[in-house]
């Protein structure tokens, strides 16, 4: 892992809050991999293989709540961490972790994490805090889905997803409309109408499996509860 990559990880809100000593202990057991577009890092039902972070590119966590349905639960961009749930409880993976575009990732193997945590039990609390951060984010999304108009949820979801994917594709979100609809909690038909409204306003540009943000400031404004599309 290069010094620049270590610096990138240290800017993550969770990892950057850890004491420098424990940051070093974790990174020292990491194994860096360069992976191709659509590479599967782990799949639903797999045994836990440790903690992961994105050094460059983008990884999406995808679940399958019903036959023929895919749900993108989290988009992890450069500097982000994931995979903590199965590290903590030892249970099978609840998602597929799929790379979108070529990426560089780092894996902290399960046995190495366990060995390190046996000597330094506070490591488990550190990892639990990552789980708490993801849980709080998920609860915020649920609250937003219940309380905010659909147009606001769409604008906020677009803005957050583009931020996560910024290093891999600045200003561009590569996603199918059915996946985005599932994230926002609406039908594909409703989503398409709202996206067309954003496109007519010059905020986004739509193409196959891709949304380009043309006016980030206007998109942020559209995420305000009193905004009108």
pLDDT digit string, tens, across residues 13-34: 999 999 999 999 999 999 999 9
> Which domain range does residue 202 map to?
149-222
Q: Which residue has the tokens 């983008």?
A: 58
Q: What stretch of H or E contains 55?
A: strand 51-56
- 66 by Cβ neighbours in 10 Å (0-12 / 13-18 / 19+) ranks as exposed
Cα Rg of the chain, angstroms: 18
Instruction: Indicate the pLDDT class of residue 172, thresholds 50, 70 and 90.
Output: confident
Residue 228 maps to a domain: no
d(CA 60, CA 88): 20
Are 193 and 103 members of one domain? Answer: no
Are 87 and 166 members of one domain? Answer: no
Q: Which of 12-16, 144-148, 218-222 has the highest mean pLDDT?
A: 12-16
Mean pLDDT of 104-115: 97
Check if the beta carbon of residue 108 is closer than 8 Å to that of residue 30.
yes
User: Count of domains in the chain?
Assistant: 2
Are 7 and 107 members of one domain? Answer: yes
Mean pLDDT of 101-113: 95
Among 105, 126, 143, the domain boundary falls at 143
Residue 52 sits in a domain of what CATH number?
Answer: 2.60.120.10
Choose among 44, 129, 117, 120: nearest CA to 84: 129
**Which of residues 129 and 148 earns the better pLDDT score?**
129
Are 170 and 132 members of one domain? Answer: no
Residue 156 sits in a domain of what CATH number?
Answer: 1.10.10.10
Are 61 and 7 members of one domain? Answer: yes
Mean pLDDT of 165-189: 77
Among 14-23, 72-81, 152-161, the minimum mean pLDDT is found in 152-161
Residue 83 maps to a domain: yes
Among 143, 178, 201, the domain boundary falls at 143
Are 109 and 161 members of one domain? Answer: no
- How much is the pLDDT for 169? 62
């Amino acid at each position: 892992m290069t010094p620049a990559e270590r610096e990138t990880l240290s800017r993550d809100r969770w990892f950057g809050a850890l004491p420098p000593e424990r940051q070093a202990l974790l990174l020292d057991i990491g194994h860096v991999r360069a992976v191709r577009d659509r590479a599967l890092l782990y799949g639903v039902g797999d045994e836990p293989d440790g903690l992961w972070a994105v050094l460059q590119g983008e990884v999406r966590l995808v679940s399958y709540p019903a036959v023929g349905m895919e749900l993108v639960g989290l988009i992890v961009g450069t500097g982000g961490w994931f995979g903590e749930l199965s590290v903590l409880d030892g249970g099978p993976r609840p998602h597929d972790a799929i790379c979108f575009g070529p990426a560089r990732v780092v894996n902290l193997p399960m046995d190495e994490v366990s060995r390190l945590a046996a000597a330094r039990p506070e490591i488990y609390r550190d990892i639990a805090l990552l789980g708490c951060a993801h849980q709080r984010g998920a609860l915020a999304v649920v609250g937003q889905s219940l309380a905010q108009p659909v147009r606001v949820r769409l604008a906020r979801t677009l803005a957050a997803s583009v931020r996560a994917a910024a290093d891999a594709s600045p200003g561009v979100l590569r996603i199918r409309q059915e996946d985005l609809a599932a994230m926002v909690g609406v039908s594909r038909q409703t989503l398409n109408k709202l996206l067309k409204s954003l496109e007519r306003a010059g905020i986004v540009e739509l193409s196959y499996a891709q949304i380009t943000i043309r006016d980030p400031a206007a998109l942020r404004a559209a995420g305000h509860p009193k905004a009108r599309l």
